[in-house]
Structure 1
Amino acid sequence: MVELTRTTGSQRKALGIAGIARSTWQYRRNPRARVLEPVAQKDRAYLSRIPTVDRAVIAKKITAGWAGGHSVDHTFASTWDRGVMLAARRSWWRIAADIEDQSARPVVPTGRGSRTPREKPVLIATGPGQVWSWDITDLRSPWRGKAFKAYSIIDIYSRKIVGWRVEERESDHLAVAMFQAAFRQHGTPRFVHADSGPAMRSGALAELLEKHDVTKTHNRPYVSNDNPFSESEFRTMKYRPNYPGTFETLEDARGHLAEYVPWYNATHRHSGIALFTPQQVHDGSWRRAHGIRDHALQHYHQQHPERFRERPTTPAPASLVGINHLADETATN
């Protein structure tokens, strides 16, 4: 290093060439004396360290407080109120965490712990008119705390919206009226799936579905992806370029949905059904469009085979659609 420093004229440059940090070089030149039995940092007797006797007293008070159903803060404050200060509040919490026997520590009750786990809903559709999903979403207004409610029923196989309405509030009888209209126009499905909102679990709707021999299923608590089709449809609506964001009146909201639903069903090229429209998949007319697409794709492949690694295939809608259903599963509704 001396020769390299003399050559470069700078120790900093020499260390940079050698790839050695300056602090490392200084330590190597002036190493500390080795300690035969070094003391770990946590065991060192620094001035601010709480004595072992005081730690034992604090631990005993905390354990006694736990037995009486009191928190660490309660025991700390009670001791302080008696004119005794053994350590800071945060130190009490650290000592509590180090107590080996935590069995006496009060357990804070939670609402989730008392719930019986709900079975995962598994629904499968092999064609339109078998499984419907529905939900309600907020349509914002300019006023704080006020939103219009958009009701929507979607056929999960074709993604077609088979029922909708916009109201000022969520109501079971409004949902019943929407389903009655959908049944008259599209027939009755085998299953209707929804989340666990009040309108979805209402007795009036349950009676209607039971009357038409329709089985209803619901999301598990705190599992938002149990209802993916309705959530996806609402996202499509709210992320369109012409979505207004807020609606001044109920009539404005209804007018927007009256234009959106026909567009979604008959014009929107849905990525989940191979870029066909929900109406095409619902009525089966997608097969003719698929033939046209495939002919054009194969012709393009013949003209430019160098642009492909293998012969391309034209995507088609899935023959089986489900909620919480994997392709390798054999479970049925």
Structure 2
Amino acid sequence: MAPVLVATRPGQVWSWDITDVKSVWSRVTYKAYSIIDIFSRKIVGYRVESREVDDLAVEMFEAAIAEHGVPEFVHADSGAAMKSNALKNALEAYGVELSHNRPYVSNDNPYSESEFRTMKYRPDYPKTFESLEAARAHIDAYVVWYNTEHRHSGIGLFTPNQVHDGSWEEAWNARVKANNEYYARHPERFHAPPQVPRPAGVVGINYEPVLVEVQEITAEAA
């Protein structure tokens, strides 16, 4: 059965995964671990290591929970580190419910997969790293950019940090005001009133919400 998880606010559902990060050395790869809050798309925990180990995942989650609080659900694929007893016991001790991909299904963890694609398709992403320290330094900078500067299309072109802390609403109101004023001055330039996207109020895994809600702008609202 397909896992179905729904979030209506930050802190409810986290997904996580591990991706290979290539080194310049043949047959050597590093492992980038990442936890993402599926509502805000914020990376709430990460690390880069030379190997995939459940104890390292436990440490990452302990640090993320200490900083961001305890999520209700954690979703992952069915890899060894993801289904390890060490991680299961650590998360269940906090009362977290665990969810996993269906066997042989690659798209049950879309949020983590999308975040890794963003990382690897950035123009400044090196195809290979000379050392573990170089990989860590690059991903440290990437996470700061992703959380604080990346205008995410899935959350109304706000940053993950803005959606996570709720400050997107103030920015959204400013966008609406600017669009109202411009539309009132130049309605002839529009075929229809402009729309201002905002983050969806409900998101999920194997759940189909309205991805972006909009607010119509009218001259009367200016």
Fold conserved (TM > 0.5)? yes
Q: Secondary structure at the match of 1:246?
A: coil
Residue from 146, 151, 154 that aligns with 1:272: 154
Q: CA RMSD in A?
A: 1.0
**d(CA) in 2 for partners of 1:159, 1:326:** 17
- 2:169 matched residue in structure 1: 287
Greater helix fraction, Structure 1 or Structure 2: 1
- 2:90 matched residue in structure 1: 208
Alignment of 1:78-97 (within 5 A): none
Q: Secondary structure at the match of 1:157?
A: coil
Greater RCO, CA 8 A, separation 6+:
2
- 2:213 matched residue in structure 1: none
- 1:146 matched residue in structure 2: 28
Alignment of 1:162-311 (within 5 A): 162-311=44-193
**d(CA) in 1 for partners of 2:104, 2:3:** 14
Does 195-204 or 310-319 show the bigger shift?
Answer: 310-319
Runs of 4+ that moved beyond 6 A: none
Residue 18 of structure 2 corresponds to residue 132 of structure 1: no
Amino acid at match of 2:131: T
The structure with the larger Rg is 1
Amino acid at match of 1:207: N
Does 303-312 or 285-294 show the bigger shift?
Answer: 303-312
Amino acid at match of 1:130: Q
TM-score by length of 2: 0.92
Q: Is the 8 A contact 2:203 2:209 kept in 1?
A: no
**d(CA) in 2 for partners of 1:205, 1:143:** 30
Q: Secondary structure at the match of 2:195?
A: coil
The Cα shift of 1:175 comes to 0.3
**d(CA) in 1 for partners of 2:82, 2:189:** 51
Q: Is the 8 A contact 2:22 2:127 kept in 1?
A: yes
The Cα shift of 1:299 comes to 1.5
Q: Is the 8 A contact 2:200 2:209 kept in 1?
A: no
1:235-281 Cα distance to aligned partner (Å, 9 max, x none):
11111111111101000011111111111101111111011000000
**d(CA) in 2 for partners of 1:323, 1:180:** 24
Count of residue pairs the alignment pairs up:
210
Alignment of 1:55-66 (within 5 A): none
**d(CA) in 2 for partners of 1:200, 1:282:** 25
Alignment of 1:309-328 (within 5 A): 309-327=191-209
- 1:155 matched residue in structure 2: 37
1:167-186 Cα distance to aligned partner (Å, 9 max, x none):
00000000000000011000
Q: Secondary structure at the match of 1:224?
A: coil
Q: Secondary structure at the match of 2:207?
A: coil
